[in-house]
A and B are shown apart, each in its own frame.
Chain A
Amino acid sequence: MTLKKATFGKTLLAAGTLMAAMTAAHAETLKIGIAGPVTGPVAQYGDMQKIGAMMAIDKINEAGGVNGMTLEGVIYDDACDPKQAVAVANRIVNDDIRHVIGHLCSSSTEPASDIYEEEGVMMITAASTSPTITEKGYELIFRTIGLDSLQGSLAAEYIKDNIKPQRLAVIHDKQQYGEGLATTVRDMLADAGIEAQMFEGVTPGDKDFSALIAKLKRNNIDFVYYGGYHPELGLILRQSREKGFDAAFMGPEGVVNSDLAAIAGDAMEGVLATAPKSFDQSPENAALVEAFKARNEDPSGPFVFPAYSAVQVMTEAMDATGKTDPYALAEHLRANRFDTTIGEIGFDAKGDLTEPTFEIYTLHADGSKTPVTK
């Protein structure tokens, strides 16, 4: 009996020591989950997110870590598959990780967000642009990438302030992406007192736009916003040039593609478009770009700098609050503005960026683009 008691006491002691050791280890490293596709068809996008987040973690560790802790990135593979994303999210929760960068594909991010929100894990996605993700009003879900739909408002602002068209036409390809943007542009401009003379759809895959162009010409249109993708806009531009219709054109990211130059030829010169900012081109990030290159990594991917910034804002919030509690961090993220590699950013109540990460570019006939100075 006494023997048993002693053993029990020793076990308790041993357990206590172990607990203490674990707590000590916790105080030294803070694990951050990086969830996205490592395998599968979109693995290259997962790689962009990974190198961005890892670079940020390394830089922060070099500078002494956060609150005396060293950060450690732990990679999880969801293969851009919603089912695997749920499994990954559960594993992250079980691994006692409470800060996640990811996921990448909107379809994976959506189901994973539910789990994180429920289990008190903070998640910042650097790549998912679907508006529905943040519409549920989550507390702990954020993103450091602009929504597709923000392009519409950015374009409308620019048209209103800089173009001031006399006779505007808004054309779209009847698909969710194109018509959605076109409707936003039309409505915002109508609110600003610029009524669209024409608002109509074309059939995706159509090749003959001569009738549409004759109509644009008849309406004396001087500015066309096109919501859609490059094949149709390319043909509209090319055929407009042939028919002597010379209004200015503007489109969303979907038209920015080297194929547009091949289709439209010279008619492409001067077309305006909204596209994600090329963060690797901005002078503030020059040193970082060098650091990526020294590691043989490509910093030009669209998700590299958003992922870097996601780690940045998370650790800045930890620094400022002195806590790692996701709820305290979330409150801090919503209340403050942050200076990051993707510029100065803030978050709204839904966890979305308050400013678009898109910029307006002028496209050129040789396929290059230059940012428009407002």
Chain B
Amino acid sequence: MTETSLYILQQLINGLTIGSTYALIAIGYTMVYGIIGMINFAHGEVYMIGTYTAFITIVGLLTMGVGSLPIILLLALITAIIISSTYGYAIERVAYRPLRGGPRLIPLITAIGMSIFLQNYIRLAQGSRDLAMPALISGGIEFGDPAVFEVSISWMQLIIWGITLISMTSLAMFISRSRLGRACRACAQDRGMTNLLGIDTNRIIALTFVIGAALAAVAGVLLGLYYGIINPYIGFMAGLKAFTAAVLGGIGSIPGAMLGGLILGVTEALTAAFFPSEYKDVVAFSLLVLILLFRPTGLLGKPEVEKV
């Protein structure tokens, strides 16, 4: 392979890694939108809480003398999922359910309020300084000709791909095969009718919040370990990027969120590869504007039919 193609391959690897985590967070936006038609702007903060939970778990386990990497990773994932899901559920109960049926703008405002509250709550509880995640997993594999360009894939990147793939597949199975998944889809199609058929739609809505939060927590653990530092403000940018990914893929569509995340990640990496890296956000958001201009419903979104 030539030097340029190896270089592009390296950037694709970087872009797919970051894109998979965008996709994980984007699912939360898209599922909630699909069912109740609102944007949960506090979702980025749920992701941030996931990274903090993982941080506390990992540091706790390390000081207790637990050295086994799979155990640490697994426990970090489990605690992060449990804590973040609890937050996801609580946010829905406290900030959105009492307002259901009200004008659409109201839950949007409580969502922003919730986001500000959570960010400042973590800032007060954990401090606003950057915390450094212990470097658990280092090294990786390298290939390509060292004289030309050496492509490296770190173990962490492989783990991110693996866990994202597992999470996405189980989500797809859950939605398409299980009874609850069917209820979710029914709810998305016609909430009133689903309710008439004896399904507790409030429970289903709470469930989508929990699923979204759990996936955001997975992304939180992975990104926390991948980047190495966390602070109470990381939720904002991550949330914005994931929201962009969800809109890009077509908000409301789960495969759309996955595709949108990957496209966004790869676009950012390739922009940084050939232009100064300060332009990567500019190009990513310009792409969003372009797609919305020509396909207002996103790549895989269905045109919305006005419900009577």
Residues of A with Cβ closer than 8 Å to B?
174, 200-203, 205, 207-212, 214-215, 217-218, 231, 234-235, 238-239, 241-244, 259, 262-263, 265
Given contacts A212-B277, A244-B150, 7 further A-B contacts (CB under 8 A): A201-B277, A210-B14, A211-B280, A235-B229, A243-B140, A263-B130, A263-B132
Q: Are A207 and B273 in contact (CB under 8 A)?
A: no
B131 to A, closest residue via Cβ: A262
Given contacts A211-B273, A212-B272, A259-B130, contact A242 B227 (CB under 8 A): no
CA distance A241 to B281 in the complex (A): 25
CA distance A217 to B150 in the complex (A): 9
Determine the residue in chain A with the shortest Cβ distance to B153.
A243
- Write the chain B residue with the least CB distance to A267: B135
Contact of A200 with B130 at beta-carbon distance under 8 Å, contacts A215-B273, A265-B135 already known: no
Is A207 touching B14 in the complex (CB atoms < 8 A)?
A: no
Contact B269 A211 (CB under 8 A): yes
Query: Known: A205-B233, A231-B130, A263-B132. Is A210-B18 also a contact (CB below 8 A)?
Result: yes
Q: Is B149 an interface residue (CB 8 A)?
A: yes
Give the chain A neighbours of B17 by CB distance below 8 A. 210
Query: A217: which B residues are within 8 A, CB to CB?
Result: 149-150
A244 to B281, Cβ gap below 8 A?
no
Over the window 259-282 of chain B, the binary record of Cβ atoms lying under 8 Å from chain A Cβ atoms (1 yes, 0 no) is 000000000110011001110110
| B7 and A218 contact, CB distance less than 8 A | yes
Does B152 sit within 8 A of A, measured CB to CB?
yes
- Taking CB atoms and an 8 Å cut-off, the chain B residues in 1-59 that contact chain A are 3, 7, 10-11, 14-15, 17-18
When each residue 217-235 of chain B gets 1 if its CB lies under 8 Å from chain A and 0 otherwise, what string results? 0000001000111000110
Please determine whether B277 and A214 come into contact, CB atoms closer than 8 angstroms: no
| Bound form: Cα–Cα A263–B140 in Å | 20
- Per the CB 8 Å criterion, the residue count for chain B at the interface is 38
Give the interface SS of chain B, mostly helix, strand, loop or mixed.
helix
In the bound complex, do residue B156 and residue A207 qualify as a contact, i.e. CB atoms below 8 Å apart?
A: no
Decide: B276 and A214 in contact? CB cutoff 8 A. no
Query: Shortest distance in angstroms between B171's beta carbon and chain A's nearest beta carbon?
Result: 24
State in angstroms the CA–CA spacing of A371 and B299 once bound together: 57
Which among B14, B142, B149 is the interface contact of A211 at CB below 8 angstroms? B14
Contact partners of B227 in chain A: CB under 8 A:
207-208, 235, 239
A214 and B10 within 8 A (CB): yes
Which residues of A are found within 8 Å of B277, using beta-carbon distances?
A: 200-203, 209, 211-212, 215
Smallest Cβ-Cβ distance to A244: which chain B residue:
B152
Q: Given the known A-B contacts A217-B149, A235-B227, A242-B140, are A211 and B272 also in contact in the complex, defined by CB atoms under 8 Å?
A: yes
Give Cα distance in the complex from A238 to B269, angstroms.
18
- Contact residues in B for A207 (Cβ distance below 8 Å): 223, 227, 229, 234
Task: List 19 A-B residue pairs with CB atoms under 8 Å apart, sorted by A's residue number.
Answer: A202-B277, A202-B278, A208-B18, A208-B268, A209-B277, A210-B269, A211-B15, A211-B273, A212-B277, A214-B7, A214-B273, A218-B149, A231-B130, A235-B229, A239-B227, A242-B140, A259-B130, A263-B132, A265-B135
- Measured CB to CB, the closest approach of chain A to B268, in angstroms, equals 7
Q: Known contacts A205-B237, A243-B154, A244-B152; decide if A174 and B278 are in contact (CB<8 Å).
A: yes
Residues of B within 8 A of A259 (CB): 129-130, 132
**Contact, CB under 8 Å: A231 / B229:** yes
Chain B nearest CB from A235 CB (Å) reads 6
Are A234 and B154 in touch, CB under 8 angstroms? no
B278–A243 touching, CB < 8 Å: no
Q: Give the A-binding residues of B (Cβ under 8 A).
A: 3, 7, 10-11, 14-15, 17-18, 129-132, 135, 138-140, 142, 149-150, 152, 154, 156, 223, 227-229, 233-234, 237, 268-269, 272-273, 276-278, 280-281
When the two chains form the complex, which single residue of A203, A205, A234, A242 contacts B156, counting CB atoms closer than 8 Å? A242
Q: Which 9 A-B pairs have the closest CB atoms?
A: A211-B272, A200-B276, A262-B132, A210-B14, A201-B278, A207-B227, A263-B132, A212-B277, A214-B10
Closest A residue to B275 by beta carbon equals A200
Q: Which residue on A lies nearest to B265, using beta carbons?
A: A208
B135 contacts A238, C-beta separation under 8 Å? yes
Q: Which residues of B contact A201 (CB under 8 A)?
A: 276-278
Q: A149 to B131, alpha carbons, bound, how many Å? A: 30
Q: Given A201-B276, A259-B132, A265-B135, is A243 in contact with B229 using a C-beta cutoff of 8 Å?
A: no
Identity of the chain B residue whose Cβ is nearest the Cβ of A220 in the assembled complex: B149
Cα distance A241–B138 when bound, in Å?
9
Residue of A nearest to B14 (CB): A210
Closest to A234 in B: B229
Residue numbers in B under 8 Å from A215 (CB-CB)? 272-273, 277
**Which one, B11, B229, B233, contacts A263 given CB within 8 A?**
B229
Cβ contacts under 8 Å, A200 to chain B? 276-278
Whole-angstrom distance between the Cβ of B139 and the nearest chain A Cβ? 8
| C-alpha gap A203/B282 in the complex (Å) | 11
Smallest beta-carbon distance B259→chain A, Å: 20
A217 to B149, CA, bound (A): 8
State the Cβ distance, B152 to closest chain A Cβ, in Å.
5
The CA-CA distance from A306 to B273 in the complex, in Å, is 46
Report the Cα distance A174→B129, complex, angstroms: 21
Q: Which residues of the other chain, A, contact B14 by a CB distance below 8 angstroms? A: 208, 210-211, 214
**In whole angstroms, what is the CA distance A200 to B25 when docked?**
30
CA distance A205 to B232 in the complex (A): 12
| Chain A, residue nearest B130 (CB) | A231
B137 to chain A: closest residue by CB: A242
Q: How far is the CA of A204 from the CA of B268 in the complex (A)?
A: 16
Closest chain A CB from B224 CB (angstroms): 10
Contacts of A262 in B (CB 8 A): 131-132
Min CB–CB distance A368 → chain B (angstroms): 17
Closest to A215 in B: B273
CA distance A212 to B14 in the complex (A): 10
In the complex, residue of chain A having the shortest beta-carbon distance to the beta carbon of B139: A242
